[in-house]
Structure 1
Amino acid sequence: MSRMVAKTHLIIFACALLMLCGAVCVSADSTVDRLKGEIQDTKQTVKQQKQELLKLTREERSMFGELAAIEDRITDVERELFRQEDDLAGIMEDEQAAKADQRVLEGELDEIVDKLKSMLTRLWPVHSRKLENKFGSLDDWEQADRNFVWLASLYKETKVELDKAQQKADEISDNLEVQRDLRVKAEAKLAEINGTKDSLLKDKLSLLAGIKSIRALKISHEQELKGLLDTINKLNYRLKSLTSKKIANFKGSLPRPCEGDTRVRFKPSAKPPVRGIGIQTAGNVDVKSIFWGKVVHNDTLRGFGRVVIIYHGYNYYSLYAYLAESFVKTGQEVEKDEIIGKTGYYPNLKETGLYFELRFHQKPVNPQKWLARY
């Protein structure tokens, strides 16, 4: 009767184990596929971010080229501005000199006019008397002729000096007008150059603002890119943990799940079949995971007490039964040699111990061929 109960327990356990195995395999495979999909999607996003960064970099370089051209133009305009300011200063100096010359000449002209007035004032009575006497007496002809020649010469000289003074005054006036025109044109040119410079400076500020905006975008994209690359590294690490740590490569060198003596050996042909090994321990000792993996079961199973099942990838999983307590949770990832619980009472041995199984594709394999020593 007890054998029938034990057999029933084993059948129930095997069915539960098979269902767990299927679920674990599907879960692991789906996890690997999901991680690969996430890595691919992230890489695509990284590619897009790099393209956007390249586009921004090219735009930034183009703006720097425009900025350099504008700065060159500003330098040329400033040079032209300095030349124009020098020219304007020279024109204003010439204008001031012309004004000074005009004032001097106007003073000299005033003196000439005053002298002429004085001379005319003295000469006019003589001239009037000559007109009244007309030619006078023949006896005074020679004297009259001398007076006439003297007066004519005096008038002529006075007229020449007056014409020279007037001509000089006209020249200075014309020159002054020319200088005024030059100054007006120079000031207009200066204003035009200043306007060009202001426009260039405005364009420069606009470009600098654009470059600042692009740099801010670049920094943002670079930070996002760094985050994406970190994500890829983490996902690759997780994928590597699931795919590169192949338990099959460690066959014959896996650590024992706990310290103790093997009392029950693998005999699948026995009746009832023994699909694992039983290890007797000296009290409640630590139970360790034989390999990296993920906890897929952490609960009691009728006939086997508390059971922990760990999936190791590639359709391999290990089972630890008759635990007094467990320190892991379902879904938790565990490291190789990580403590997962304590051994409890093993009914068949009537001592503390551990029942251990190793399965591949839902079929039990001999743990003695996988563990380093037994």
Structure 2
Amino acid sequence: MPEYPYKYILTSLFMLLILCISVPASAQDSAVNRLKEEIQDTRETVKQQKQELLKLTREERDMFGELAAIEDRITNVERELFRQEDELQRITVEEEAVRSEEKTLRVEHEVIVERLKSMITKLWPVHSRKLENRFGNLDDWQSADRNFVWLASLYRETRTELQKAQRKAEEISLNLRTQGELKLKAENKLAEINTTKDSLLEDKLDLLSGIRGIRSLKLTKEQEVKGLLETINKLNYRLKSLTSRKIQNFEGSLPRPCEGNTLVNFDLSAKPPVRGIGIKTDGNVDVKSIFWGKVVHNDTLRGFGRVVIIYHGYNYYSLYAYLAESFVKSGQEVEKDEVIGKTGYYPNLKETGLYFELRFHQKAVNPQEWLARK
């Protein structure tokens, strides 16, 4: 950052002191009272908004508690769902095994039936002949007894095989009925669990929707509170302005001279020393006076392009350099926030911007300690 030629600075400051005229205080009691009432009303509104924010925060916290409980229930239901699915799978596997056994038993049953048919085929002619002959053709009692024992044994075997086939058929039928009932019960239970899970998921979605709604309301309220607090700051500034126009009373709350990012910082220990700040701007933007005062310089200054210097009373000066154009003239009184020019090309930044200084007597002070934080 180039420095002012020392003699030129002294001359300029001396001229500023001569040209300077005090800025009269113009506080009005009625305006002050109105501002105080407006500040009080705004503070009451902020208080109400904060209470509503607190209420919304509590509702949000309660909803998160409900959401956590629902998620726990969903976890438990999912565990039960997995268990029930495993049970259904086990029943299905067992049912398949029973059906496989049924097929085997049916094959065995068919074998038994075929054997019975064969036995009956063999028995029936013998039985028919015996009925016709009434055992008259038997040679002796021993032969008759042997035939009788053989027939009785064949009948018993046939009856046993038939009973065995019937029992197997009954077992298969009972097992299939049991498996069917178990499967139906498991499927019903699975459907019930799925219904419960769907219901819990719907409750979860409703809660999430409610939480999003509350967060949206909270964000709106927070923005409103932020805006109200900014309004209070502005009103306090206006109130202070009506009751006092001493720039030293506004340290830390002066407005920035223009919109943009500060890329050059105040640093007296630098080589060469930096006695102000450099602000990069997006194109040629408005440059505003940071406080009430009188223009004591409006001309080009070697190394700083077009420069406007404003005297604010009590030996305080503000300097605005690298202006593309200025809208004021020397000797003109300006208001706080009054547009005094447009930013121009800032050589050190190689872009449009503003170099700004704040001085007390001839000593540069750090503007960043006087300007309000962004």
Give ranges in structure 1 of 5+ residues lacking alignment.
1-20, 250-256, 258-285, 293-324, 335-374
Q: Give distance in 1, aligned partners of 2:127 and 2:336.
A: 139
Q: 1:288 to 1:63 in 2, by over 3 A?
A: closer
Q: Give distance in 2, aligned partners of 1:205 and 1:41.
A: 40
Q: 1:88 to 1:290 in 2, by over 3 A?
A: closer
| Distance apart, 1:45 and its partner CA | 0.6
| Distance apart, 1:105 and its partner CA | 0.4
Measured against aligned partners, the alpha-carbon deviations of 1:169-216 in whole angstroms (never above 9, x if no partner) come to: 211110101111111111111111111111111111111111111111
Q: Superposition pairs for residues 57-136 of structure 1, below 5 Å?
A: 57-136=57-136
Structure 2 partner of 1:196: 196
Aligned AA for 2:106? E
Structure 2 partner of 1:228: 228
| Distance apart, 1:237 and its partner CA | 2.6
Q: Give distance in 2, aligned partners of 1:175 and 1:244.
A: 100
Structure 1 partner of 2:215: 215
Measured against aligned partners, the alpha-carbon deviations of 1:39-66 in whole angstroms (never above 9, x if no partner) come to: 1111101001101111111111111111
Of Structure 1 and Structure 2, the greater helix share is in 1
Q: Give distance in 2, aligned partners of 1:165 and 1:221.
A: 83
| Distance apart, 1:240 and its partner CA | 3.1
Corresponding residue pairs, total: 243
Structure 2 partner of 1:238: 238
Structure 2 partner of 1:299: none
Q: Give distance in 2, aligned partners of 1:65 and 1:236.
A: 42
Aligned pair partner of 2:333 in 328, 335, 348: 328
RMSD of equivalent CA atoms: 3.1
Q: Give distance in 2, aligned partners of 1:89 and 1:43.
A: 67
Q: Give distance in 1, aligned partners of 2:117 and 2:312.
A: 135
Q: 1:100 to 1:214 in 2, by over 3 A?
A: same
Aligned AA for 1:88? L
Structure 2 partner of 1:40: 40
Q: 1:143 to 1:289 in 2, by over 3 A?
A: closer
Give ranges in structure 2 of 5+ residues lacking alignment.
1-23, 250-293, 295-308, 316-329, 338-374
Q: Superposition pairs for residues 308-347 of structure 1, below 5 Å?
A: 327-328=332-333, 332=335
Aligned AA for 1:85? E
Q: Give distance in 2, aligned partners of 1:157 and 1:217.
A: 89
| Distance apart, 1:328 and its partner CA | 3.2
Q: Give distance in 1, aligned partners of 2:231 and 2:104.
A: 90
Q: Give distance in 2, aligned partners of 1:118 and 1:287.
A: 130
Q: Give distance in 2, aligned partners of 1:31 and 1:167.
A: 109
Q: Superposition pairs for residues 138-153 of structure 1, below 5 Å?
A: 139-153=139-153
Contact 2:119-2:158 within 8 A present in 1 as well: no
Contact 2:138-2:144 within 8 A present in 1 as well: no
Larger Cα Rg: Structure 1 or Structure 2? 1
Structure 1 partner of 2:186: 186
Structure 1 partner of 2:163: 163
Q: 1:288 to 1:113 in 2, by over 3 A?
A: closer
SS of residue matched to 1:136: coil
SS of residue matched to 2:97: helix
Q: Give distance in 2, aligned partners of 1:81 and 1:287.
A: 79
| Distance apart, 1:246 and its partner CA | 7.8
| Distance apart, 1:290 and its partner CA | 5.2
| Distance apart, 1:289 and its partner CA | 7.0
Q: Give distance in 2, aligned partners of 1:246 and 1:30.
A: 21
| Distance apart, 1:79 and its partner CA | 0.9
Contact 1:135-1:141 within 8 A present in 2 as well: no
Q: Give distance in 1, aligned partners of 2:86 and 2:311.
A: 92
Q: Give distance in 1, aligned partners of 2:184 and 2:311.
A: 99
Structure 2 partner of 1:278: none
Q: Give distance in 2, aligned partners of 1:71 and 1:159.
A: 64
Aligned AA for 1:116? L
Q: 1:289 to 1:197 in 2, by over 3 A?
A: closer
Q: Give distance in 1, aligned partners of 2:191 and 2:150.
A: 61
SS of residue matched to 2:74: helix
The TM-score normalised by the length of structure 1 is 0.59
Q: 1:59 to 1:168 in 2, by over 3 A?
A: same
The TM-score normalised by the length of structure 2 is 0.59
| Distance apart, 1:132 and its partner CA | 1.4
Q: Give distance in 1, aligned partners of 2:126 and 2:45.
A: 117
Aligned AA for 2:200? L
Q: 1:185 to 1:135 in 2, by over 3 A?
A: same
Contact 1:98-1:176 within 8 A present in 2 as well: yes
Q: Give distance in 1, aligned partners of 2:211 and 2:310.
A: 62
